[in-house]
A and B are shown apart, each in its own frame.
Chain A
């Protein structure tokens, strides 16, 4: 209910505000609304929903609250796939762009998971992802160094995620991808709730863990890539939306969280698009910058609040005495990283 109200308010705001201001009554007749603001709103909602759902799939499949597209190299890879032809002045037909993004995203994600290993501890995956992301980002920056000043503006804006100047054309390009991803999501959701239990229990219940993870990753990539191709990697939505969904429905499981996560993702992106359009008018700021600025602190706060009862990401809130006496309550795959051997101060 709250989500519905929020969406309604958002829609009204998104369609009426801006230059020129359009009163509610005149909405259906204004060109600016039907041809610019409405597709933009729809795109924001769809993109947000995709990112939110993909974020939840990744987090559940890897059992890691920080497994988000931008941390696994998926977003950077997709952006690289889209930006490379732009800079190198290769003309690419629009229909191929999502495919390029898909290839890039798959490359980034695969690199991370290969390097980290599938069943590794969450923090290891995250660090590996950070390294892969950094490498891909530097490749992107190299491309930007090559670009002309004019292209540079465009590319930079795109890399942060921006919905400016998107039309119905861009929105219709998303539907076929969604038609593939949604049934797959529906099939995959029950398996996700089993994966949550931990690898051994999931195996005991007859789930092929490795394959299930790969399938989840593939679905997440199919959800993310087309969005990235159209409006760039909008940062941190895939992190925040699932967190919100979990916080507000603590008793539910993955199947129930999935639609909520998508809904929250849509709300977040549509929400962030308002300041992106209006804050520094007439200059548009990229929506991704807003989601990053708001998303990360909010997400960290949520994580810390949750961490009171559970082990937080990447290890734990262990006091020294507990570290010595009590066994860890994290998953068994996780080990403590020690200092280098020469100087390990007798903690073993």
Chain B
């Protein structure tokens, strides 16, 4: 519990850092606005741009952290994450296809979430069809997951080439970015995230059992099949929400669970909220760091066009961490 509190405080601190990261206003200006003062322009920037952006980053991060933890627990696979189980690429494909075919626009976010949802399920289903019989071999499943992701990315590319009008805005979104997120995105994200986060939390006990192995769980009277399906639905829903809000942030859902289990132990009742907080902190921190980086680069190169997408940062750092995790789990092999 103490750790959770400390972590929550840390997340608040990161959120504040994200609020003051940016080009136009310094920390003192932001503080003035938050305490009720400031000129109209500053107020607009803080309240209508930075605050929702920060909140969306927090919400999406929490979703991804939860989704990854649920997936890893349900599949008993330390290498499962939304990115390598076809869920994220599927969700991206769904959203891109829906917008490309004109079924949903960026102005109707609800439709995008629905499309991302369908796509995410399709991706997960594809993987399950391929690797279903080898589900207890983590690395094999991960390999198939990479292949599935490749197919789905190819399809996404096809859609984008057939309907290239959106390419510019979609590219941002393929890498994952929190630029230009406004209150609309937040109002859509938080009820969805809250609903599924609660659902995930109610699944904490069965998931903890599932992580111990099917026989043990069955011996304790858990019906493993339905429990696993419920967990997967939960994970896909959370991922779809996050993808619809900020795009495909790389490696957050894959790595946050490892941190969460390391910090909070294996009891998911505590580890799940921990993972949500960690995910929120990580994404928000990456967002703040990306903005600082953009500023640095802009100062160095004298261009205003340059902005580092948040997803680029999480993917870059995540790739390095993933290598470490893969190494460690190999060295611990029996």
Taking Cβ atoms with an 8 Å cutoff, the residues of A that contact B are 66, 70-71, 115, 120-121, 123-124, 126-128, 130-132, 134-135, 137-139, 141-142, 144-146, 149, 152-153, 156-157, 160, 235-236, 280, 283, 285-286, 288-289, 292-293, 296-297, 299-300, 312-318, 320, 335-343, 345-348
Contact = CB atoms under 8 A, between A and B. Distances in A.
Interface string B312-325: 10011011101100
B136 A320 contact: yes
A343 B154 contact: no
A142 B308 contact: yes
Contacts of A320: 136
Contacts of B23: none
Interface string B230-273: 00000000000000000000110000001001100110000000
Contacts of A127: 79, 139, 142-143, 146, 322, 326
Interface in B61-99: 76-79, 83-84
Interface of B: 76-79, 83-84, 130, 133-134, 136-140, 142-144, 146-147, 150-151, 153-155, 157-158, 160-162, 164, 167-168, 171-172, 174-175, 177, 211-213, 216, 250-251, 258, 261-262, 265-266, 305-309, 311-312, 315-316, 318-320, 322-323, 326, 329-330, 332-334
B205 to A, nearest CB: 14
Given A144-B171, A315-B134, A335-B330, A296 B319 contact: no
A297 B154 CA distance: 12
Contact of A337 (B78, B157, B211): B78
A345 B212 contact: yes
B172 A145 contact: yes
B142 A314 contact: yes
Contact of B150 (A70, A145, A286, A314): A70
Contacts of A120: 330
Sort A-B residue pairs by CB-CB distance and give the 10 closest, nearest first: A335-B333, A292-B154, A345-B213, A135-B319, A138-B315, A141-B175, A314-B143, A123-B139, A343-B266, A314-B140
Contacts of B258: 340
A157 B83 CA distance: 24
B168 A152 contact: yes
Contact of B329 (A126, A300, A337): A337
Given A115-B323, A128-B323, A285-B161, A139 B137 contact: no
Nearest to A112: B323
A145 B305 CA distance: 9
A289 B154 contact: yes
Contact of B167 (A152, A292, A335): A152
11 contacts: A123-B143, A130-B146, A139-B312, A139-B316, A160-B157, A292-B157, A314-B139, A314-B143, A315-B137, A339-B77, A340-B262
A343 B258 CA distance: 12
Nearest to B305: A146
A138 B250 contact: yes
Given A134-B251, A338-B329, A343 B175 contact: no
B151 A296 contact: yes
Interface of chain A: mostly helix, strand, loop or mixed: helix
Contacts of B76: 339
Contacts of A126: 143, 146
A335 B171 CA distance: 39
Nearest to A291: B154
Contact of A131 (B153, B266, B323): B323
A160 B167 CA distance: 14
Given A337-B333, A340-B258, A285 B158 contact: yes
A338 B150 CA distance: 26
B93 to A, nearest CB: 12
A69 to B, nearest CB: 12
Contacts of B160: 156
Contacts of A312: 134, 140
A345 B216 CA distance: 8
A338 B211 CA distance: 12
Nearest to A126: B143
A8 B264 CA distance: 64
- Most B C-beta atoms less than 10 A away, residue of A121, A316, A339: A339
A348 B333 CA distance: 9
Given A134-B315, A144-B171, A338-B333, 6 more contacts: A127-B146, A137-B315, A138-B311, A138-B316, A313-B143, A315-B139
Contacts of A153: 164, 167
Nearest to B251: A134
Nearest to B149: A130
Given A131-B322, A138-B315, A292-B151, A283 B162 contact: yes
B326 A141 contact: no
Contact of B261 (A146, A292, A342): A342
Contact of B309 (A130, A142, A297, A337): A142
A219 B174 CA distance: 33
